[in-house]
Structure 1
Amino acid sequence: MGNKKKSYSDIKINLRPPKGGLSLTGFTLIELCLVSLIASVIGLAVYFTFSNGMRIWQKANQKVVEEDLSIFFDRFALDARNCLKFSGLGFLGTRERLEIASLVVSPYLKNKTIGRVAYFYEPRSKVLFREEKDLSRIFEGKQGIVKGVLENLNSLKFGYYFYDKEKKEYVWLEEAPLEGLPLAVRIEFELDVQGSAGRFVRTVSIPIGG
């Protein structure tokens, strides 16, 4: 009468993976391990590249800070050593401000002339500023040339070295007397360098002090 019709129960479904070790997703276990290994190697390479880049960046920034400090100390020492006595331009020294008569470059004369140099610290901005005025700007009451010379300062103070005639000894003062010049000026500050605080001190003698 013909072949017997097969029912659905007679049909067997083969769920075994095909030969050759391939999984149902098309990847062998070895291939998956290789992919994971390659991803790990790439991740390590990216990490070390980033790490080396950070070290280079930190060293470059540190070098810039060292150069800025060197330039500042040279400038500060030159101003202090050029300190002079001039009528109408007295010496002013407080904890966070220093004003001296010194040699400055006049924008009008295009040459060095007598003027006033001031260093003052702004705690809010954490910046030490330098201002210089020639005589014409001083007598006209005009603002001088102001420039930030040090940034990221957590603290700063000046000190003044005098001979105390009453005590008959040399002392450091945070406020300079209204008369006379100190024998030396000291600047002390704490600088924030890449999250680490560094303390710096520089003392400069004043040739005509005393």
Structure 2
Amino acid sequence: MCFIRSVRKSSFFLYLKGVREKESEKYKLFGSSKGNIPGLKLFKRRAGFTLLELLSTTALMVVIGAALYAVLSNGIDVWKRTNEEILEEKVSIFFEKIAKDMRNTFSYKGVEFLGEQDSVSFPTLVISPLSHPNLVANVGKVNYFFDKKTQTVKVVKFDISGLYTGKGREEVLLKNVKLLKFRFYSYDPQGKEYFWYKNWQKGTFPLAVGVEIIIVSSEKEFKFERVIQIPIGS
């Protein structure tokens, strides 16, 4: 009986040994090492992207790029419109100033109404800095002109003392100016018709003055025109 049990135990141990040897051969066959799951390397994912992932990423980048372009384009449009509105306001202020001075012009001995294509000077009411805080307007002269070197429109104001000293206060009214052009409207007694003159040296006042301005902004040219009537004109 003991012999039979010994034989059975030996057979059982031999069986276990054979099973372990087979498992060991399987590990070697699939390239696994001790402590790893058999066949793990067969299912290990390779580095990189699949075609679906590449297409999804490309589509997402296109959508984001289009959105950024739309935002940038709208921002530029708003900036341009804002600049154009600011430019129109500055030109309107210029026209209001010169129109006010021309409507207040009057005859004054020694100061004539003189005009060229890019400048005009005439007597008008000027507020002297010495009159502060009362700010009383008095007899004076203004000279509006185009400075080609700086591409600006300027005005020089002479108060009553400046008429004798020749010293006035200069102010820049508009920048980035390409053209400032004056014309002078009056009646021609010889031709018996109304006519636009390129300059004015007649010792009297024109009926109206045409003002044309071209300003460059954002690489575009903007043209403004205004006709100012002179109440004292003849």
Change (3 A) 1:28 1:101: same
1:84 maps to 2:106: yes
Q: Describe the SS at the equivalent of 1:108.
A: helix
Please show how residues 5-154 of structure 1 align to structure 2 within 5 Å.
19=43, 22=45, 24-110=46-132, 111-142=136-167, 144-154=168-178
The CA distance in 2 between the partners of 1:84 and 1:108, in whole Å, is 23
Aligned pairs, number: 194
- Distance 1:18-1:34 versus aligned 2 partners, 3 A rule: farther
Describe the superposition over 1:9-67 as per-residue Cα deviations: whole angstroms up to 9, x where unpaired.
xx999xxx9648x4x32433222222222222221221111111101101111111111
The letter for the 1-side match of 2:153 is L
Question: TM-score, normalising length from structure 1?
Answer: 0.84
Structure number, greater radius of gyration: 2
Q: Relative to structure 2, which stretch is displaced further, 28-37 or 56-65?
A: 28-37
Q: TM-score, normalised by structure 2?
A: 0.76
List runs of 5+ in structure 2 lacking aligned partners: 1-28, 32-40
Aligned residue for 1:56, secondary structure, equals helix
Which of 199, 211, 229 aligns to 1:175? It is 199
Q: Give the Cα–Cα distance (whole angstroms) in 2 for the partners of residues 169 and 32 of structure 1.
A: 80
Residue identity opposite 1:80 in structure 2: M
| 1:5 aligned residue | none
Q: Which AA in structure 2 matches 1:134?
A: D
User: Which stretch shows the higher mean deviation, 173-182 or 32-41?
Assistant: 32-41
Residue identity matched to 2:113: F
Q: C-alpha separation between the residues in 2 aligned to 1:37 and 1:166? A: 78
- Distance in 1 separating the partners of 2:92 and 2:126: 20
Overall identity of the aligned pairs, in %: 34
In proportion to residue count, which structure has more helix?
2
Q: Deviations over 1:77-135 (max 9, x none)?
A: 11111111111211111111100101111101232111111100122322111111101
The CA deviation string for residues 156-183 of structure 1, in whole angstroms up to 9 with x for no partner, is: 2111112222222221111112411111
Return the offset for 1:155. 1.8
Q: Matches of 1:56 and 1:189 in 2, distance apart?
A: 24
Which residue of the partner structure matches residue 189 of structure 1?
213
Q: Which sections of structure 1, spanning at least 5 residues, go unmatched?
A: 1-10
Q: 1 or 2, which has the higher strand percentage?
A: 1
